[in-house]
Amino acid sequence: MAPAIPAHAANPGERFRSIVDVHTILIRDDGRILLLERGPGRYGAGLLHLPSGHLEPGEPLHLGAARETVEETGVVIDPADLEIAALVHHRQDPSHTRVGAFFACRRWRGEPYNREPDKCTGLVWADPVALPQATIDYPAAGIRAWTAGEGYAAHGW
């Protein structure tokens, strides 16, 4: 007898696909982390998120995280300075899922600034243990997994 198909499997004959995101947790010497305020007309407008973005085709996770961080904040990261912090499997809705690789980074070159003013309205240094209430749930799940020393979080399932 064939095993039962889990109730959450939408199309059992198709391969599961998910968007892959990369997130960078920039950590200052005082322990605070950098969050970006999302601009008008964007997902999570007015809320806080980490420097992040979609992985590009053929791009390794750590290089994608370094690329997204420089694109959004202007700081240059040696990919060797990125440490995997957490992996989050996020379900935004039944047909939209993401796998987020969260990297911690304590060393970079340059001072963070808003390099994408059309997408971001400001930068905030925050306590990772007491995140601002306006932090989007998905990146907050990755930050919480990292601060708790957990390597993985399922969010929204």
Task: Specify the CATH class of 19-155 in words.
Answer: alpha beta
Question: Ranked by mean pLDDT, which of 28-37, 40-49, 85-94 comes out on top?
Answer: 28-37
Q: Which residue has the tokens 């999570």?
A: 44
**Given pLDDT bands bounded at 50, 70 and 90, which one contains residue 1?**
low
Other Cβ atoms closer than 10 A to 80: 9
Q: Delimit the domains of the chain by residue range.
A: 19-155
Which pTM does this prediction carry? 0.90
Element (H, E) at 137: helix 137-147
Mean pLDDT of the chain: 92
